[in-house]
Structure 1
């Protein structure tokens, strides 16, 4: 049954040409690869997208680096049926001394970051215009305003970047952030974006698997009810399969937990017609600390060797 805001959502979806569908966050870095250093090859990305193409219609990419350029090239050359939300990665423009894993920079570095951010926005616009039939929406940044971020950007700067994008590209523009800042800090941004993008992670907020789906819905509706004039998309929601106990209790994560949450999430998203990007396609060993059980490394529905975890193994078996 569609959610209580469905009629409005359908109107905004039609206006923005954004249709509900299965969506996933994709970053294809494998063992020995990492952003800004070693990137996946054309053939590696092609392999990934062929794995994903039968299950998902939408991909979310985080920045405008070489990885995203190759992804767009593969989609175009191989004639793959994906629509992409492309983001710009914006770095710190102000210090965030409360971030436990770093958020302090020299004034010189902050100025360098501002120049780099403007260049990222310009590149985002360029790619949007180069691939108008593939890129369906654009994001001015990712988790840059939440209190714990290590790349803090003032809301005023984000607003300026949104305006730059809207001036230079035709696709709808958003900003991807945890649900909580949208309830207060980002109110001035709401009227600037074409739609709101939220992140919801019950496992990071100490919810067990039995509480998880209701909490996700609470997060979504807290924003959707506050701004009934705006389409709300979930651009990250998922469940990690390992934890070293730092931030996430190790007993609260497993492939079985991921299977439950994924199925609950996708059932609700399809039933209520909420565009939801599952986080994420593949495990990424470069993320987080060197600890092999670092939670950040294990959110994928597929392992780093591209073998399916439980949820996808079951899905693949049922489709045979």
Structure 2
């Protein structure tokens, strides 16, 4: 990580955050999700590598010695082994359950019968040991938008193909009319637009241009974006998100991010599309001036899970926090008010032990959030992108297993919950 002059510290001489919350008070009423995520991330990094020091404030990482580099390389090896283990566990467990189901067998715990119509009906045992109804829930177009990263679209080796993206988008279009991407590497944007146009899918796209600490990443991704537009045209594009959580992750300082947004906007306008909004997506702490003075929308990633409230209270918390804290901050001293797009919102399902206080990952809690939040959001015509379409267990890293399990679908594309009937506009 890099630091910058505007970095927001969890604990400093000021006792309250930007919205007047007391940092030392109870989580439920006084801690923002920005603070919770930053604190949890630091704790996870400390547990995983011991590379950061924390004595009431965030400190810059010291320069690595040769010994520390060797340690970090060892940790990287362990991380790769952990990811491989998670993937093997995930796929192996599912395959075993499917084999049991086909033979009418039972699970090793002897509690739930698979495929033989036990007292709970047919059930499926997920890798985390949770038994859910083995029901092929129908997909419904009830989401305003969906966040999507194609399976295996990860540098340095891209295993995604045009066919795999075709198959995934044919399923995704059954849930929404809008899809949000995060980057252009691995031909993600090119394959997506090609699928939409060739298969005549009713989908509009929010383009993602990824930004990290390497300046070459922005250059490569932005050049690919405009190359794809030159090939396929602009008819499917409804927005451009220049970076995702750049400020939260300290990838670049604010002035660099603003310069990248201005560069992309200028070229979009030059090419004749001033109506397409150009913005960035970040947590609520960044969504205020100066950032919101230099973008067309406010892209807010807002997750009730990181508030620490129970799932039953998550919808009420979302609306209160959005209306009382986020919205006023976005347009504070803004001469030209801008709209808010919720660019991420969702609930993780695994593992239950990676909870944030009373916010617990589970499929039943995802069902509660869907049942209590989704129809209300559609009725209020809130622009949002649900995070995310299917699980991504390759995102798991030491200390943060929850990162890979935010999907509406499992990695094998099984819908986790029953969707309501409130169709999105």
Q: Same fold (TM over 0.5)?
A: yes
Distance 2:254 2:224 in 1: 21
Do 2:310 and 2:358's aligned partners in 1 also have CA atoms closer than 8 Å? no
* Residues 219, 255 of structure 1: alpha-carbon distance in 2 compared, 3 angstrom cutoff: same
Pick one of 147, 155, 178 that aligns with 2:254. 155
* Residues 290, 37 of structure 1: alpha-carbon distance in 2 compared, 3 angstrom cutoff: farther
Pick one of 37, 44, 47 that aligns with 2:164. 44
Pick one of 285, 296, 307 that aligns with 1:205. 307
Q: Aligned runs of 1:211-250 on 2, under 5 Å? A: 211-221=313-323, 222-228=325-331, 229-243=337-351, 245-246=353-354, 248=356
Distance 1:247 1:211 in 2: 15
Can you list the C-alpha shifts for 1:249-302, whole angstroms capped at 9, x where unaligned? 6982211110121233321221111101000101112102278x9111111111
Distance 2:412 2:376 in 1: 30
Do 1:176 and 1:235's aligned partners in 2 also have CA atoms closer than 8 Å? yes
* Residues 78, 206 of structure 1: alpha-carbon distance in 2 compared, 3 angstrom cutoff: same
What RMSD over aligned residues (CA atoms) do the two structures have, in Å?
2.5
Do 2:178 and 2:206's aligned partners in 1 also have CA atoms closer than 8 Å? yes
Can you list the C-alpha shifts for 1:218-251, whole angstroms capped at 9, x where unaligned? 3322232334511001000000000263453698
- Give SS of 1:138's match: strand
Distance 2:247 2:145 in 1: 24
**Could you say which residue in structure 1 is the equivalent of 2:216?**
115
Do 1:282 and 1:302's aligned partners in 2 also have CA atoms closer than 8 Å? yes
Pick one of 24, 38, 45 that aligns with 2:146. 24
Unmatched segments (≥5 aa) in structure 1: 1-19, 93-112
Aligned length: 267
Instruction: Identify which of structures 1 and 2 has the higher relative contact order when contacts are C-alpha pairs closer than 8 Å and 6+ apart.
Output: 1
Can you list the C-alpha shifts for 1:109-133, whole angstroms capped at 9, x where unaligned? xxxx113323322333333454301
Distance 2:192 2:402 in 1: 26
Distance 1:248 1:47 in 2: 35
Distance 2:320 2:256 in 1: 29
Pick one of 341, 349, 364 that aligns with 1:256. 364
Pick one of 406, 414, 417 that aligns with 1:299. 406
Can you list the C-alpha shifts for 1:80-138, whole angstroms capped at 9, x where unaligned? 1100001111111xxxxxxxxxxxxxxxxxxxx11332332233333345430111110
- Give SS of 1:140's match: strand
Q: Report the Cα offset of residue 28 of structure 1.
A: 2.0
**Could you say which residue in structure 1 is the equivalent of 2:284?**
179
- Give SS of 2:319's match: helix
2:175 aligned with 1:72:
no
Do 1:244 and 1:294's aligned partners in 2 also have CA atoms closer than 8 Å? no
Distance 1:138 1:162 in 2: 9
Do 1:179 and 1:219's aligned partners in 2 also have CA atoms closer than 8 Å? no
Compare 121-130 and 193-202 and name the one that shifted more. Answer: 121-130
Do 2:352 and 2:360's aligned partners in 1 also have CA atoms closer than 8 Å? no
**Could you say which residue in structure 2 is the equivalent of 1:14?**
none
Do 1:60 and 1:84's aligned partners in 2 also have CA atoms closer than 8 Å? yes
Do 1:46 and 1:74's aligned partners in 2 also have CA atoms closer than 8 Å? yes
- Give SS of 2:412's match: coil
2:228 aligned with 1:127:
yes
- Give SS of 1:224's match: helix
TM-score by length of 2: 0.58
